Amino acid sequence: MGEGRQSADMRTKTRNLKFLAGYGVGDFGLNIYWNSLSLILVYWYAEVVGVQPYVAGFIYSVGVLWDAISDPVIAIYAARNRSRHGAYRPFLLFGGILLSFAFCLLFWTPPFEGTLLVVHLCIVHMLFRGAYTLVAVPYSAMSSRLSFDSQTRTELSAIRMMFAFFGLLVISGVWFPLSRFFGGGNEDSPTGFFLTAVTGSVVAMLALAICFFATKEKVPPGKATEQTLRSFLTAYKGNSALRILLMAILLHSAAIVSFNIPLAFFIEANSGKFAAKEVVMTVFAIMTLISVPVWTFVSARIGRKRTWQVGAIWIGLLGGSLVFSGPLIVSGIPLQIVLFGVGFSAFSVLVWSFIPDAVEYGQHAYGERAEGAVFGLILFVQKFSGVIMGVTVGTMLTVIGYDSDLDQQPASIAVNLGYFLAITPSVLLILSSIAIMRLPLDRHIHARIVDELSA
């Protein structure tokens, strides 16, 4: 009898692991794309294509703005989809093919100059962002239909973040070596960048296909409601948890972008002291990846809102150390920079566990299950913060005098970039922690809400 129980428990654990990993691998594919945008794209515009940093920031922001506009539309469209595969899963398979082609085009160097070049880069960036939205929005919203248990959703969030940070690790560690390999030893070769993008697009497309076949959506609790664009206004007005979450995520997303975009430039400006970009970025990615289980454990013990506060304090302390001590370098690795990854991983786990809970909170509050509106508003706010910070970072690079034509930047450039990386994310995340403490959601409240909706 005991052996039979143990065998059943083992089968249950195996099925649960396959369920979690099947969902998480989709975010590995998406983060091949996302981290290429966050860490590589502006650098590619400035260093390989040759546009000025403020122009690179402008092009990045145009794409993100288009992304922000298209997110709510796709969110509503996906939520209204009806197929035998579910509402959201089909987008992973069929949208993934379009996304793969758009990514390759994104890193193709066109034979244009001047205004025509900038226009081309803007259009292609918008095309890619639209394709990315078509896949990423349904993937995120799908978590609200895979499980209706708050703890399971935290596990789903944690496992997807582990796969996401594995995608970060791949881009951080492989992109520049691979571009050198394809570019005949030249790190900034246009051919090398393009063939690296082709390789990444194939891997990402396969990951999204695996996610499609490994997952299955459930019927949500409560009465089904038809969602329209008006659902956005209803959700915002009727869901107090969503309003607070939007503010916290606006600040959190701005903090992440304010760190990711300047990172490659900061490493480049310190090339005489730091290890190669892929080495620093790989260590950063490893620290981010291995911290996910730690933050998941901490969240289960002290709660998600307090864990958010701890993560913000961690980033603030590191930022203070970077301002007053400068980079603490060990074997070419700036310690504060890579330890930022430990703090950032906390928010990645927490954000995506709060969002689906906010869906049921609003459903309980005003009687409509507005998945599309909730995820659409969240993603809009994320991208809107990216627009602001993309312009801010591009302008900052120009104001401090960063010159992509120089082999070695002046020491003042490295110092100013260090101040920006230290102060901006720290302040934004501390402000976000103040907002998150007002959130009227915890595990027990959510469990009660789901029980009442199911009844």
- Please state, for a pLDDT cut of 70, what percent of the chain lies above it: 94
In angstroms, the first-to-last Cα distance of the chain is: 35
Is the pLDDT at 8 greater than 50? The verdict is no
Where in the sequence is the domain holding 156, given as residue range(s)? 16-215+226-454
Dihedral over alpha carbons 136, 433, 381, 60 (to 10 degrees) = -80
Give the pLDDT of residue 153.
76
Q: How many domains does the chain have?
A: 1
pLDDT given for residue 296 in this prediction:
87
- The mean-pLDDT minimum among 11-15, 64-68, 203-207 falls in 11-15
The band of 321, judged by pLDDT with boundaries at 50, 70 and 90, is very high
With respect to residue 10, please indicate whether it lies within any of the assigned structural domains: no
pLDDT at 435: 94
Structural domain includes residue 188: yes
- Across 317-345, average pLDDT: 93
Position 160 scores a pLDDT of 83
pLDDT of residue 405: 76
Q: What percent of the chain has pLDDT over 90?
A: 36
Q: What's the whole-model pTM score?
A: 0.74
pLDDT over 80 (residue 207): yes
What average pLDDT score do residues 95-121 get? 91
The pLDDT value recorded for residue 351 is 86
Q: What is the DSSP string of 334-364?
A: EHHHHHHHHHHHHHHHHHHHHHHHHHHHHHH
Q: What is the CATH number of the domain that holds 427?
A: 1.20.1250.20
Q: Is residue 11 part of a domain?
A: no
Q: What is the pLDDT of residues 382-430, one digit of tens each?
A: 888 887 888 888 889 888 988 877 778 888 999 999 999 999 999 999 9
Q: How confident is the model at residue 51 (pLDDT cuts 50, 70, 90)?
A: confident
**Number of neighbours of residue 154 by Cβ within 10 angstroms:** 21
Residue 9 in domain: no
Q: Does 138 reside within a domain? A: yes
Half-sphere exposure of 300 (CA within 13 A, CB side): 12
Res 366: pLDDT:
84
Residue 396 lies in a domain: yes
Confidence of residue 166 (pLDDT cuts 50, 70, 90): confident
* Lowest model confidence (mean pLDDT) among 215-224, 295-304, 312-321, 344-353: 215-224
Confidence of residue 15 (pLDDT cuts 50, 70, 90): low
Q: What is the model's pLDDT at position 415? A: 93
Amino acid present at 331: S
Mean pLDDT lowest for which of 186-190, 205-209, 299-303? 186-190
CB atoms within 10 A of CB 266: 23
Dihedrals phi, psi of 317, to nearest 5 degrees: -65, -40
What CA–CA distances, in Å, run from 308 to 158, 249, 250, 305, 449? Answer: 14, 11, 14, 5, 23
Residue 3 is assigned to a structural domain of this protein: no
* pLDDT for res 226: 62
User: For the residues 261-288, what does the mean pLDDT come to?
Assistant: 88
If we measure between CA atoms, which residue out of 150, 142, 158 comes closest to residue 372? 142
Amino acid 227: pLDDT: 65
Q: CA 256 to CA 237: how far, in whole Å?
A: 27
Residue pLDDT, tens place only, 209-261: 999 998 888 877 666 566 666 777 888 888 899 999 999 999 999 999 899 88
Asked if residue 369 belongs to a domain, the reply is yes
